[in-house]
A and B are shown apart, each in its own frame.
Chain A
Amino acid sequence: MKYIDEFRNSEHISALVSKIYTISASIGKQVNFMEVCGTHTMAIGRSGLRKVLPGNVNLISGPGCPVCVSSNSYIDAAIEISKNKKTRVVTFGDMYRVPSGRGSLEKAAAVGAKIDIVYSPLDALEIAKRNSGEEIVFLGAGFETTAPLTGKVILYANQQGINNFSVFSCHKLIPPAMEALVNDQQHMIQGFICPGHVSVIIGSRPYEIFPREYGIGCVISGFEITDILHSILILLEMIAGKRKVSVEIQYSRCVQSDGNPNALSLMKEVFDVVDTEWRGIGIIRSSGLEVNKRYSQYNSVYRFPINLKGSTDKKGCICGQVLKGLKKPFDCKFFARLCTPENPVGPCMVSTEGTCAAYYAYER
């Protein structure tokens, strides 16, 4: 048992697909589910799942790719920081290419900015120790999954008296973004496939508002093809009235309803919840994390003259509506002209598996 092939077992997949066909036929009309998390979108793309599902089961790719929703102004500021000769920017690799109005970190590196790519925030601290003459700025990106790690690194820096290290946080919270989507009167989302790893941290309770207030079922799903099919089946059963519309944990091998209390208290210790901007969507209330006053010496915002201007999103980008399932990429005047995978305007084009990028690759 290596927990890879077992979850890709063809017999189990066929059995799930056939159940999905039976129940979706009984429902008849189109149903729209959103897979919130970018990793789900990737898994769906890689397994070829979208083509296997019945015609009336529509999957909408959500805003859960953390780099895709980083605002232009955040990337602009990160580029600005990287221009300082005494500064070294440390980032996860996927942030490297994300474009803003002023270029990208990749382009900044080409003209001399010192930018290191790491796989763990802990490496940023090691880099700070090795380069004591430089200011190390870690770009804290990601949702509830990575935020506790960033928090832990700040605590380590504090314990070890490391003074040349700070975090420029664009950490974001998933449930407020989901709520912003369904607060649009016209949204078409009838079920959420909730992110597995975010839920390892936050548990299932933060999603309870969706069945309670909006009548939308939620399933916290694992990332293998059988997980995702199982989650779709559960959502269909909710729609068909065979299950209570509720929050269910399909990814039970990792997720508990209370989440990870240690990680949650660590986040509370280090971060304040703030309003933050999501590319293509705009400012969402209480959806971001900023390093709090107690640890302000580790907050890049206090160490550098950072001016986080408001949105510089191009007017006319309809990613917000694509994310709500209201419009298709073809409806956008930028699509495949001004907005391409090489030069993305909105979040749906940044990730290769974003809705617009997928349409660009497969549907043109």
Chain B
Amino acid sequence: MKYLPTIGIECHVQLATKTKLFSEVDNDARLKDPNSCVSPIDYGLPGMLPRLNGAAILYVIRAGLALNAQINLFSRFDRKHYYYPDLPKGYQITQLFQPLIGSGYVELPSHKRIRIEHAHLEEDAGKLSHADGYSLVDLNRAGTPLVEIVSEADMHSAAEAREYAKELWRLMTYAGVTYGDLYNGNMRFDVNISIAPEDSDKLGTRTEIKNLNSFRAVERVVEYEVKRQTKLLEKGQKVKQETRGWNDAVGETTAQRSKETAQDYRYMPDPDLPPIRLEAKTIDEQRKQMPKMPADYRTWLDGVLPNDIIEILLDYQGLMEKLSEVSVILLEQQNMLEKINATLKKLANLFSSVLLAEENTSLLNDALPSARQLIDLAEMNDRKELSSTAMKQVFLKFFDPEMRYKESLTIAKELGVMQDNDVESLAQIVDEVLAKPETQKAQADYLAGQEKVLGFLVGQVMKASHGKANPATVGEILRQKLST
């Protein structure tokens, strides 16, 4: 029997606020000592009360806008109770009953829409590390603001789950909601998976795999679970509703907690926090500040660049913004649309072939060249002043600390890669080459009708010009000289 998987994803996104959700302590604990970013509030000292970081609300509004979602003018905080040493108060402050963000959707590159059920603001817990016979608690992360984004179960394959996770990451980083550092757990995915016969209108029993921190893991988990659940059903067994853990090294999920032993979180409204009442004005202000989103770039570049290049470049908001900047300048200079598109294509190719080449990806951490530099570079190539290879060489120099503020022309000259397009000076070199004894045979062959040897002669001229000659021009000159 053929089974159709159904997948829903909950994603925890750490907000890039300066301070924590309910205290004034530094929210960025990367590279800091354990328990060095902890206030009495985060520590759960007696008598401590939460102070709401208003910036976090704005970040969640931006998340909501990125999700094309309803933003609720009235929302509240609730307490979710459970005991664990990384949860200092014995409860997590979250939003169950009235969340800040209502329903919305994420549009995948395929244009399929994955519906968002809701998204809410909550605090993160700390971290435990286990040693032999004891465990250590680090509360640096306790109280970090999170937005939890809950999707509908609208996905039906591992690839789609991965695509969704990745698109969510793009949306959240584009909107500036999070640093999006997956390695440091800035975004963590909980995946719900069930399978059911393709013709069935009922969903199967689902399992939940928590705390995945890469798109690849999301994809592999779905692949694994679909296989595992299919095997069970084919053997006539049942899928147990449970939480399972993912072992990335082994590539397996293992049972953790079944539904029977699931905790009762005893939710209640948090009496220490008044409700959040937003004004429409606040949302509008955020809307105005929203940058171009992936969907905007897709619409813009549709037909200009191949889809696969668009998708690759979309992972780098900076590159997209740069292309956009370039196009604005070219438009202002009243260039024809065709020329603009050709330039964008040229730069996009440069980005994808040079910058995203394995050995150069570290350059992406640097500041990008200015739009002016890029336009000059592309135009020099248009004018055949730079060969494609030379253009790449100059482009790489934009990331050289000693070169980065120089004009493209200056760099090209310093590198000595300017192409020689001057027919007179090239004709002189051609004459010199044609006078050489080692080219005589080739000349004779060409005259005898062997067109192919022209390439050899062009090569000889290129060599003599130290690579600066424009090969096309050289070919023209050679043809002329030999035919007369």
The answer on A and B forming one complex is: no
Q: Could you list which residues of chain B lie within 8 angstroms of chain A, going by C-beta atoms? A: none
